[in-house]
Amino acid sequence: MQIVISSGDITANTSDVIVNAANSSLLGGGGVDGAIHRAAGPELLAACRELRSTDLPAGLPTGQSVATEAFALPARWVVHTVGPNAHAGETDPELLRSCFRTALATAEELGAESIAFPAVSAGVYGWDPETVADTAFQELLAHEPQTLQRAEMVLFNDRLADLFRRRLRKLAG
């Protein structure tokens, strides 16, 4: 699977799947989550409310993923994953690994050929960006793709994209 790193707005990404760094309520929030909800339009919130009223009445657990349509976004689907919040004591690296692993598995179930990730948990959730990069790339490199051909890390600025490039070079060696 090809791994690409870019900086920019994930809501403009044309991958089959964009990954939303969601909160467990799935009802929108700040950062990437808020941007994706705004760009997708009100139908995304309605779809998430439907998930909450049926399959996920208690919300989406940390480290898990679920898909919705992408509505007004250029992607086909949004895979919502709940990253661990270090500020709330969620510091188990397995929770962070699970975000990437379950998002990849969900994309494969959809038959997606491409997926775009943000830096899950590296923002307001307080995880070190290097740890997030290493975790993301370990999971991407270990993933045995069935339909996925391309994974892109879409970072919100050039500095973070450069950091991710350095970490990928170190891991891929």
Please state the separation of Cα 98 from the chain's center in Å: 11
Q: Which token pair is 5?
A: 């790193």
Question: What is the largest distance, in Å, between two alpha-carbon atoms of the chain?
Answer: 46
Q: How far apart are CA 134 and CA 83, in angstroms?
A: 15
Catalytic position from the list 16, 33, 55, 128 = 33
Residue 116 · residue 75 · CB < 8 Å: yes
Q: Which token pair is 113?
A: 């050929």
Among 130, 172, 96, 123, which Cα is nearest to 10's?
123
Contacts (Cβ under 8 Å, ≥6 apart) of 86: 121, 125, 126, 127
Which H helix or E strand runs over 81? strand 77-82
Catalytic residue check, 33: yes
Q: Which residues are catalytic?
A: 33
